Amino acid sequence: MSATGEAGTSAQPASAHRGAPVETPFRRFVAEFLESPVAAIALAVLVVIVALALLAPWIAPQNPYDLAQVDVMDNRLPPGSTSMMTGMVYLLGTDGAGRDLVSAMLYGLRISLAVGVASGLIAMAIGAVVGLVAAYVGGRVETLIMRVVDLQLSFPAILIALMLVAVLGKGVDKIIVALITVQWAYYARTVRSSALVERRKEYVEAARCLGLSHRRILFRHVLPNCLPPLIVVATVQTAHAIALEATLSFLGVGLPQTEPSLGLLISNGFEYVLSGKYWISTFPGLALLVTIMTINLVGDQLRDILNPRLKR
C-alpha cells in the first residue's frame, strides 16, 4: 500500500517532509482508485460531463429555448452545416425545431443529471433512515419494512415507475417522485444489512453505556460506518435513475416537452431516423451512454476498493 509513498520519498528526498509520505486514509483511497486507468479516465470524463452540464448556459453556442435565437428555417440540418440566418456553424447539426444540437444536448444533460441526482439523493436519505431504523429497532417493525422492500424489489423498476407515472401523470416533480419510490428500497436494503452488522459491535455498546440518545448513536456512529456500501449503491442507482428517466421520457410518459432531457431529445429524433436523419437521435444517445457508462465504471471501482472481501 505504501509503495507509492516510499517511491516518492526516494525520488525527491528534499520534499519528503511536506509531500506524499503522509498517508492519510483519503490519500490511500485516491491512490487506490487511480490504480485502474479505466476508472481514472472514467472519473475524468465524468467530471467533464458534470462541468459541461453545470456550465451549459454559459458555454452553449445558443440558448436552444430562446425563440429569438433559434431559426426554424434551419431545422434538420446535418452536422457541420452553417446557419442561413446567422452564419453560425452547427457542429452536430440541428433538430426538428431548428435548434443547435450541441446546445440542446448540453441543456438536456443538465436536466437529465439534475433529475437523476436529485431523485438519487432524496431516495438515499429516505432509504438510509428506513434501513437504519429497521436494523436498530428490529422485531415487527423490521419484518414489516423488509417485507415491503422485498415486495417492491420483486417487481422490475421500470414497471413500478410506469405504474406511478400512470397514476401521477407527467411533470418534473412527478417523475422525481416516481424515481424516488423506485430507488428507496435498494438503499434501505443495503443500509439495513450493514447496520445489522454494525449494531452488534462494541463501539455501539460503548455509545449506549455513555447514555447517548438513540438518534445520536444511529446517525453519528452507526450511519458513518454504513457509508461505504451506500456510496457504491448510490453511484449505480444514479446511473439507473438517469437511464430510467430517459426511458420514460422516450416513451412519452416522462418529462414534459418544456423540460427536454436527453431522453426526450432522442425521442424527438426518432421520427426522423426512418428518413435517414440519424444525428438527432444518435448524438444525444451517445451523450447518455457515456454518462451512464462512466458512472457505472466509477461505481465498479468504488465497489472494488470499498468491499472488504475484495481487499488484496
Partner 1 sequence: MTAFIIRRLMQSVVVVFVMSMVVFFGVYLVGDPVYLLVNPQMDQEDIEKAIRALGLDRPVWEQYLHFLLNALRGDLGTSFLFGEPALKIILQRMPATLELAFAALAMAVVLGLPLGLYAGLRPTSIASRSIMTASILGFSLPTFWVGIMLIMIFAVVLGWLPSTGRGETATFLGVTSSLFTLDGLAHILLPALNLALLKISLVIRLTRAGVREAIHQDYIKFARAKGLSNRRVIGVHLLKNILIPVVTVLGLEFGNLVAFSVVTESIFAWPGMGKLLIQSIQNLDRPVIVAYLVIIVLFFVVINLVVDILYSVLDPRVRLGEQGA
Given the complex with partner 1, which of 21 and 285 has the nearer CB atom? 285
Position 33 contacts partner 1 (CB under 8 A): no
What does the alpha-carbon distance between residue 234 and residue 37 come to, in Å, rounded to a whole number?
A: 22
- A 10 A CB-CB count for 129 gives 17
Give the type of residue at 105. Answer: M
Please list every residue from 222 through 261 that binds partner 1, using CB under 8 A: 239, 243, 246-247, 250-253
| Buried b or exposed e, range 26-44, using 16+ CB within 10 angstroms | eeeeebbbeebeebeebbe
Please list every residue from 261 through 290 that binds partner 1, using CB under 8 A: 263, 266, 270, 273-274, 276, 278, 281-282, 285, 288-289
Position 196 contacts partner 1 (CB under 8 A): no
The least distance separating partner 1 from the CB of residue 276, rounded to whole angstroms, comes to 6
Given the complex with partner 1, which of 31 and 162 has the nearer CB atom? 162
List the grid coordinates of 24.
Answer: 492519510
Residue 110 burial (C-beta neighbours within 10 Å; 0-12, 13-18, 19+): buried
What does the alpha-carbon distance between residue 198 and residue 157 come to, in Å, rounded to a whole number?
A: 29
Given the complex with partner 1, which of 83 and 301 has the nearer CB atom? 301
Position 136 contacts partner 1 (CB under 8 A): no
Position 16 contacts partner 1 (CB under 8 A): no
The least distance separating partner 1 from the CB of residue 194, rounded to whole angstroms, comes to 22
Position 41 contacts partner 1 (CB under 8 A): no
Q: Alpha carbon of 136 to those of 76, 207, 215: distances in Å?
A: 58, 14, 10
* Count of residues of this chain found to bind partner 1 when the rule CB under 8 A is applied: 38
Half-sphere exposure of 3 toward its Cβ, with a 13 Å CA cutoff? 4
Given the complex with partner 1, which of 112 and 190 has the nearer CB atom? 112
Given the complex with partner 1, which of 17 and 312 has the nearer CB atom? 312
Given the complex with partner 1, which of 37 and 276 has the nearer CB atom? 276
Position 297 contacts partner 1 (CB under 8 A): yes
Chosen residue from 162, 177, 196, 212 binding partner 1 by CB under 8 A = 162
Helical ranges in the chain per DSSP H: 3-11, 25-34, 37-59, 101-137, 139-153, 157-168, 172-198, 202-209, 214-216, 223-250, 262-273, 279-306
Chosen residue from 45, 193, 293, 303 binding partner 1 by CB under 8 A = 293
Cell 446567422, located at residue? 86
Given the complex with partner 1, which of 185 and 239 has the nearer CB atom? 239
Chain residues that interact with partner 1, rule: CB under 8 A? 151, 154-156, 158-159, 162-168, 239, 243, 246-247, 250-253, 263, 266, 270, 273-274, 276, 278, 281-282, 285, 288-289, 292-293, 296-297, 300
